[in-house]
Amino acid sequence: MLDPVSIAAIAAPYLAKGADALAKTAGEKIGGIVGDLAQSVANKFKGDSFAEQTLAGAQEKPDSKARQGALQAVLAEKMEDDPDFARTVQKLVDALQKGSAGSVFDQRNQTVHGSQTNIAGSVKGPVFSGQFNGPVAQGGDANDFRGAVGTIYKPSASVRQHFGDVISGLPRDNESTHSDNESKKIKALFLASNPKGTTTLELDREIRGVTEKIRASEYRDSLDLISAWAVRPDDLLQLLNQHKPQIVHFSGHGSKAGEIILVDSHGSPKPVNPAALRALFETLKDNIRLVILNACYSKKQAEAITQVIDCAIGMNDAIGDEAAITFAASFYRAIGFGRSIKQAFDQGIVALLLEGIPEENKPELLTRNGVNPEKIVLVPPEDE
């Protein structure tokens, strides 16, 4: 039996295409099998609004590799959780492979490899054409891993291993055209890292809190939140090149030596020192105006970063999950209401005080020489 990820890689394009369409192009037999598959999946997804939305989004744009990728990840997760469901899908996929003989999709027997956002391992049988770059966690489309109501898709360790450690970061569908409003959006790139053997952090709660505050803000349509998980050093180069964000937000562990802790290729801790971070942002600063290091002992990194970036927020000591989550959520809410970086920072501190969390002195806002954070408004009113 194939593993859930490989099964999902085969099944997702059929599910996206739909039984009726395949019956017309590949015959009633294939259409009937796909119909059975679709019914099984629909029954499994029932009651899970995020999974239902992901399936509907893929069927709305069946040729979208991004939406197929999102469907793949959710389907693999469901199969991993339910062996009986996995066997049912496997049986139908086997029937599809025997009956299609390449009549619907290009028949491939290949190993897909390359960057960490690709599927690792062999994927046999009919798969969608083109390179798969991983599930999406951006934008407000149906391919948004945050979901329509702010839910967060956090893949299991094994699914993340197969789909790549960065569960995000795929460009918007090539078929989409960008409007003027789209090009004016501010991008916030959320980088999460919680290596094996380190204290488990509530990073999913943090991004959920940030998402909810952004969506409740006045200028929510002007701010895109993109998330990447289990980030490795080389992922930083990939993601900054790909997205060119205005805000870079790291959430994870920091060391007393002034390092942020990413993951290596085995999921173990990989320290990155302040000098390396400074070099990174000096090379790839592009549109970046602000770097947030929501990690313990991150002030040293923030000081190094502000040699080349206008503003950075770091922590001068260890900081707990509740403080980190409360501060970040309140900060982004203020940004979403058109406040300056300084005003947003102050609101984050006030939120800690209001909640009675005694860590209001730990976040620090640092700036490059000559920069006034009170004058930097990242998400201004649309008519300005």
> How sure is the predictor about 273, in pLDDT bands with cuts at 50, 70 and 90?
very high
Q: Angle at Cα 287 formed by Cα 186 and Cα 277, nearest 5°?
A: 115
CATH of 177-375, one of 3.40.50.2020, 3.40.50.1460, 3.40.190.10, 3.40.50.880: 3.40.50.1460
CA distance 164 to 222: 29
User: What are the strands, taking DSSP E only, across the chain?
Assistant: 107-112, 121-126, 186-192, 223-228, 247-251, 253-254, 260-263, 269-272, 290-294, 311-315, 363-367
What integer pLDDT is reported at residue 251 of this predicted model? 95
* pLDDT, tens only, 3-35: 777 788 888 887 877 656 555 555 566 667 667
Mean pLDDT, the chain, integer: 77
Q: Which residue has the higher pLDDT, 270 or 381?
A: 270
Q: Where are the domains of the chain?
A: 4-124, 177-375
H helices of 216-273, in order, are 233-243
The pLDDT tens digits of the residues spanning 283-301 come to 998 899 999 999 999 999 9
The pTM assigned to this predicted structure is 0.57
Give the residue-averaged pLDDT of 147-167: 42
